[in-house]
């Protein structure tokens, strides 16, 4: 076994809530490799502010949470998947508490959680740790993983492609960003927990790694994808030249924050009777409409009517970050723009996270479970990560003894390629891709815009494939190749949907079709 070849029972690609939870949920006798793109705690989970939806309040019910999710999903949710996820919400919260996650409690009740309200929910059911929920979960699970004897962590690794034998997934080729070498990881089960693809857009709330790697890799391996036209744009990302992808949580609107135009007037009531608490797609479209109508760069979110103590207690991270940039949220409104935030579609999986390829599981944002439908309801995504990590781990534990040992696979061959002296091509293509996706496949679409995007992506992919064939791989090249692949799938899904539903809004087909149907692409 050469130094750049590894054997484990289970290979997990991704170290967010889904990947970390899956590693911890697997039996301790299994040898697990957990791969992280950067250091641990750099993915989307770490930056999740709002919280996790769960049925915890005595007044709340599973039925109510299911009903709210189905409404938000605009007729496209898989009711079985929704019920499965929501029914497991309480046990998943209990598991996180057992791991050591310290959620906020009511001041007078040691045992009662403080539950927040967010758009689309009919009850307070968002369990949180101030406005740093993702960070609280990420740090505790990371600590647990690092302490586990059976889990080996490999940071600074990017997946290239899967290794298959007679249709079964038996591992992956992995690029080590520090040594610039491609390694072979083999395992009897592979879990992709690689997150979404919001980096396909010019403005995004996501960290740099959200380049759709798992979706592209699974598609190339033969997995179906679904509903990739549904990209959720978070309505309120901080608009400031120095504030790269800093999110202003929806909880601010939940606590009475108002959206304003530059002249100080409110506008949300003109678009929806729920005003600022309308679902995210409606709020994002309203802001996009006003920005285009008035030719303005941003709108404003005002929570300055709340006391300083309230803001410091509930939104310490936002208060501090805004103050660093010269914005005092207790005295003035916050400049905000919509930003690509969440990929609702992904690789088609069942309730155990199983994909179309035997031995390959996909969980978290890279998957399409049927939970989100045409629009993800706030704070259901962290819940989905934890629930499906558990169900995938349980399925692996039950079946791995019957799984064959991986067959010998060839080492990565780069004898025919050279080092590139044209990295400017990568950065130029990256910028071009993100700009035309924002302009043509953004919050509001038309047939003409999508046709332009289709034309651009075809040219771009031809260039990328030629480059990939001739030069040694790099982190930037791998991300660009995956992002271009997922962008093509997003465009194809958007062109296939001849209606406006949920997050997919097109001026050519403004109405709903009578029947809701998934957009499924087959490799």
CB 237 within 8 A of CB 381: no
Catalytic residue among 157, 188, 253, 280: 280
What are the helix (H) ranges across 115-212? 133-147
CB 260 within 8 A of CB 300: yes
Q: What are the Cα distances from residue 71, in Å, to 200, 217, 230, 368?
A: 27, 32, 15, 18
CB 372 within 8 A of CB 226: no
Number of Cβ within a 10 Å radius of residue 368: 27
CB 482 within 8 A of CB 221: no
CA 200 to chain centre: 12
Structure token pair of residue 404: 């064959």
- The β-bridge relationship of strands 299-302 and 520-521 is unpaired
Structure token pair of residue 298: 């941003």
Q: What are the Cα distances from residue 33, in Å, to 46, 176, 330?
A: 20, 14, 46
Question: Active-site residue 280, yes or no?
Answer: yes
What are the helix (H) ranges across 345-379? none
CB 185 within 8 A of CB 204: no
H or E segment at 165? strand 157-165
Where do we find the tokens 């179906």? Answer: 224
Query: What is the Cα–Cα distance from 446 to 448, expressed in whole angstroms?
Result: 5
Residues taking part in catalysis: 280
């Amino acid at each position: 076994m050469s130094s750049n070849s590894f054997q484990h029972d289970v290979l997990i690609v991704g170290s967010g809530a889904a990947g970390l939870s899956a590693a911890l949920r697997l039996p301790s006798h299994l040898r697990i490799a957990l791969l992280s793109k950067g250091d641990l705690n750099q993915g989307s989970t770490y930056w999740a502010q709002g919280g996790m939806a769960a049925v915890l309040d005595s007044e709340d019910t599973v039925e109510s949470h299911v009903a709210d999710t189905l409404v938000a999903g605009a007729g496209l949710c898989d009711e079985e998947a929704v019920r499965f996820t929501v029914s497991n919400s309480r046990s998943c919260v209990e598991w996180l508490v057992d791991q050591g996650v310290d959620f906020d409690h009511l001041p007078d009740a040691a045992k009662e959680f403080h539950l927040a309200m967010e758009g689309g929910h009919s009850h307070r059911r968002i369990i949180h740790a101030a406005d740093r929920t993702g960070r609280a979960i990420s740090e505790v699970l990371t600590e647990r993983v690092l302490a586990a004897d059976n889990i080996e962590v490999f940071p600074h690794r990017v997946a290239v492609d899967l290794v298959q034998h007679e249709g079964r997934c038996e591992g992956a080729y992995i690029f080590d960003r520090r040594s610039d070498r491609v390694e072979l990881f083999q395992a009897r089960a592979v879990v992709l927990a690689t997150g979404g693809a919001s980096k396909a857009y010019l403005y995004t709330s996501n960290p740099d790694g959200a380049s759709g790697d798992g979706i592209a890799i699974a598609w190339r391996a033969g997995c179906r994808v679904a509903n990739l036209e549904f990209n959720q744009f978070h309505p309120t990302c901080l608009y400031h030249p120095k504030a790269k992808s800093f999110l202003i949580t929806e909880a601010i609107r939940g606590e009475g924050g108002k959206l304003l135009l530059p002249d100080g007037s409110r506008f949300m009531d003109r678009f929806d009777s729920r005003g600022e608490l309308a679902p995210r797609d409606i709020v994002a479209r309203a802001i996009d409409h006003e920005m285009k109508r008035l030719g303005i760069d941003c709108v404003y979110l005002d929570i300055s009517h709340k006391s300083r103590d309230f803001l410091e207690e509930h939104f310490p991270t936002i208060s501090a970050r805004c103050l660093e940039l010269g914005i005092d949220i207790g005295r003035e409104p916050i400049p905000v723009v919509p930003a690509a935030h969440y990929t609702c579609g992904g690789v088609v999986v069942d309730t155990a996270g199983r994909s179309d390829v035997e031995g390959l599981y996909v969980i978290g944002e890279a998957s399409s479970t049927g939970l989100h439908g045409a629009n993800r309801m706030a704070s259901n995504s962290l819940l989905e990560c934890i629930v499906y990590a558990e169900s995938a781990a349980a399925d692996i534990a039950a079946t791995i003894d019957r799984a064959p040992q991986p067959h010998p696979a060839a080492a990565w061959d780069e004898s025919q390629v050279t080092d590139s002296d044209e990295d400017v091509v990568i950065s130029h293509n990256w910028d071009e891709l993100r700009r035309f996706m924002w302009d043509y496949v953004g919050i509001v679409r038309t047939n003409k815009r999508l046709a332009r995007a289709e034309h651009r992506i075809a040219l771009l992919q031809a260039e990328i494939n030629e480059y990939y064939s001739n030069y040694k791989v790099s982190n930037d090249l791998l991300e660009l190749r995956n992002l271009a692949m997922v962008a093509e799938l997003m465009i194809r899904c958007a062109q296939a949907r001849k209606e406006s539903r949920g997050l997919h809004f097109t001026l050519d087909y403004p109405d709903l079709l009578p029947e809701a149907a998934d957009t499924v692409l087959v490799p």
